[in-house]
């Protein structure tokens, strides 16, 4: 007895089934296998429908679908290794070339190409009135103490 209530085990409520008839056992097994196949089919259909729903949601919220970037557009790059009091974005950079898999080749305001390709998830459009003469912010490679 636990806290005034009789303890129950999961197997206590089950009624034991004693089948001595071999034909009855076989028909029960066949029925259970049929139900198992049906349940697997329903699970498979639900998984597929949920995957389609998640894909629609994901595609709807993608940045590169809503805001297409073209060559000669100005963009900012997300500063992943940002320290305290540093800006979240650095740049601006001009898109030189659109590469496969949602990547872009960029060049800075001086015309030097950025060596590595940058994925669209790291970019944000920079709205500028005139062509910039210098970068707004460029993270230094030196360690700050």
Phi and psi at 122, nearest 5°, equal: -95, 0
Whole-number Å distance between alpha carbons of 1 and 32: 37
The H or E element spanning position 91 is strand 89-99
Query: Digits of tens for pLDDT over the chain (145 positions)?
Result: 567 888 877 766 665 566 667 777 788 888 888 888 999 999 999 999 999 999 888 888 776 666 788 999 999 999 998 888 888 998 899 999 999 888 999 999 988 998 999 998 899 998 888 888 888 777 665 445 4
The H or E element spanning position 118 is strand 118-119
- Looking at the whole model, is its pTM more than 0.75? no
């Amino acid at each position: 007895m636990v806290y005034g209530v009789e303890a129950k085990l999961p197997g206590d409520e089950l009624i034991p089934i004693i089948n001595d008839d071999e034909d009855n056992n076989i028909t029960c097994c066949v029925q259970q296998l049929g139900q198992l196949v049906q349940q697997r089919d329903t699970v498979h259909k639900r998984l597929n429908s949920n995957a389609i729903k998640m894909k629609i949601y994901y595609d709807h919220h993608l940045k590169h679908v809503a805001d297409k970037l073209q060559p000669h557009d100005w963009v900012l790059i997300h500063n992943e290794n940002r320290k305290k009091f540093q800006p979240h974005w650095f740049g601006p950079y001009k898109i030189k070339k659109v590469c496969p898999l949602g990547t872009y080749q960029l060049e800075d305001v001086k015309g030097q190409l950025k060596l590595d390709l940058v994925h669209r998830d790291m970019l944000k459009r920079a709205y500028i009135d005139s062509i910039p003469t210098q970068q707004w912010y460029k993270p230094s490679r030196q360690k700050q103490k």
